[in-house]
Amino acid sequence: MIHTSKLTKTFTVKKEKIQAVKGVDIDVERGELVAFLGPNGAGKSTTLRMLTTLLAPTSGAARVAGVDVVADPAGVRSRIGYIGQGNGGGHSYRVIDELIMQGRFYGMNTTDARTRAEQLLKSLELEDLKKRTVIKLSGGQRRRMDVALGLMHSPTLLFLDEPSTGMDPQNRANLWEHIMRMRLEHGTTIVLTTHYLEEADTMSERVIVIDHGEIIADNTAGRLKSDLAGDLLAVEVSAAAAAKVRGLLGRAAAAGELEETAYDGVIRFRLRLPDGARLAPGLLKDMNDAGAPALRLELKPPTLDDVFLELTGRSLREGGKV
């Protein structure tokens, strides 16, 4: 459905070159659900804009829905749907009018467009707002309207740039229900970007991690986590026994990295333990045998943030350490 090679975008602002996207290779098959994950300014929107013909690539090539974006941009546009990062509704327009016009833009007749608009308004819980002007909607309501606009023509390939940003948990769940249903019923191919780690983790099959305009990882969330991060194990022993297990834990830890903090005569070790759930019982037994029984133990499965931290040394979370 999507194939890019060395896709690159360089912006020039006041003679300064900004390399927003640095030669990315992406392949997406029909029916896949792919999430781009990355911090602010990583190049997610820029990549999506190139794939949706809204930006001309500086170099490289991209085929979307079987069509080359540079050779036949109009062909690409008629085969895809796009929900951008900004609000798509015109400020002074009524919600229902914008939806119907959007359908008309894609060649639907007025009756079909109206029926479809009513369906979407209903399922996105915007029914009561259909005669409001866009400027009088709340942020989350506007975002839901954006989603409705993007779904009007039931595209077979849909791009969504941070679709759930600004929505409350209930509406976010509702949005995902929509997306999942579209996949299930119509085999829609979906490419989206998100900041929500849990969202990328639980909803998408495949996560493409992007940072500084480069793809730094591309796999299922499960594989990324098990390959790159491993479970986080925290184990406490008495200060007197610490020396007996330091070597043992160091050998078990990923890359031999062992973190150690002391308080109230207790030493707390923290380490990454790939496949930790399976290995932890054995490790506990070894500690017992060495004469240093664990006083406390915590085992946390890895998150995508751990993956990102592992890859870049930075956290994706708000105010993450650099």
Partner 1 sequence: MQLQQATAAGTAVRKPGLGRILQDTKYVFWREMLLVIRDPFSLIFSLVQPLVFLALFGPLLGAAVGAEAFGGESSLQWFLPGVVVMIALFGTSMTGSNLQYELMTGSYERILATPLSRSSLLIGRALKEWAPLVLQGLVIALASIPFGFVFYPLHVLFGLVVIGVFGIGLGALSYALALVTQGKEWVFWGVQQTLLFPLMILSGIMLPIEAGPRWMQVLSLFNPLTYMVNAERELFAGGLGSDTLWGVVAAVITAVVGLAVGVRVIKRSTL
Ligand X SMILES: Nc1ncnc2c1ncn2[C@@H]1O[C@H](COP(=O)(O)OP(=O)(O)OP(=O)(O)O)[C@@H](O)[C@H]1O
Residues 6+ apart with CB under 8 A from 97: none
CA 234 to chain centre: 28
10 Å Cβ neighbour count for 178?
A: 18
* Residue nearer to partner 1 on the CB measure, 11 or 244: 11
Q: Which residues pair with 44 in a beta bridge?
A: none
* Residue nearer to ligand X on the CB measure, 20 or 51: 20
Say whether residue 46 binds ligand X (CB under 6 A): yes
Say whether residue 44 binds ligand X (CB under 6 A): yes
Site for Mg ion in 185-214 (CB under 5 A): none
Among 40, 313, 318, 321, binds ligand X (CB under 6 A): 40
CB 308 within 8 A of CB 315: yes
Q: At what angle do helices 95-105 and 110-123 cross, to 10 degrees?
A: 130
* Residue nearer to Mg ion on the CB measure, 41 or 282: 41
Q: How far is the CB of 226 from ligand X (least distance, A)?
A: 26
* Residue nearer to Mg ion on the CB measure, 85 or 154: 85
Residues at the contact surface with partner 1, assessed by CB under 8 A = 52-56, 69-70, 73-75, 77-94, 97, 101-108, 112-113, 115-116, 119-120, 123, 146, 149, 153-156, 174, 177-178, 181-182, 185-186
Phi, then psi, of 85 in degrees rounded to 5: -75, -30
One-letter identity of residue 219: N
Site for ligand X in 71-90 (CB under 6 A): 85
* Residue nearer to Mg ion on the CB measure, 161 or 310: 161
CA-based nearest residue to 21, from 37, 45, 39: 45
Say whether residue 38 binds ligand X (CB under 6 A): yes
Q: How far is the CB of 297 from partner 1 (least distance, A)?
A: 43
CB 207 within 8 A of CB 304: yes
10 Å Cβ neighbour count for 80?
A: 24
Say whether residue 13 binds ligand X (CB under 6 A): yes
In the list partner 1, ligand X, Mg ion, none, the entry touching 156 (Cβ below 5 to 8 angstroms by class) is: partner 1
CA-based nearest residue to 180, from 158, 197, 162: 158
Which stretch in 34-42, 74-82, 175-183, 238-246 sits in contact with ligand X by CB under 6 A?
34-42
* Residue nearer to partner 1 on the CB measure, 119 or 220: 119
* Residue nearer to partner 1 on the CB measure, 103 or 276: 103
| Spatial distance between the Cα atoms of 128 and 213, rounded to a whole number of angstroms | 42
Among 7, 9, 26, 45, binds Mg ion (CB under 5 A): 45
| Spatial distance between the Cα atoms of 121 and 138, rounded to a whole number of angstroms | 15
DSSP-derived letter for residue 136 is G
Site for ligand X in 216-275 (CB under 6 A): none
| Spatial distance between the Cα atoms of 266 and 292, rounded to a whole number of angstroms | 12
Q: How far is the CB of 30 from partner 1 (least distance, A)?
A: 13
| Spatial distance between the Cα atoms of 33 and 192, rounded to a whole number of angstroms | 8
Interface residues toward Mg ion, by CB under 5 A: 44-45, 85
Interface residues toward ligand X, by CB under 6 A: 11, 13, 18, 20, 38, 40-46, 85
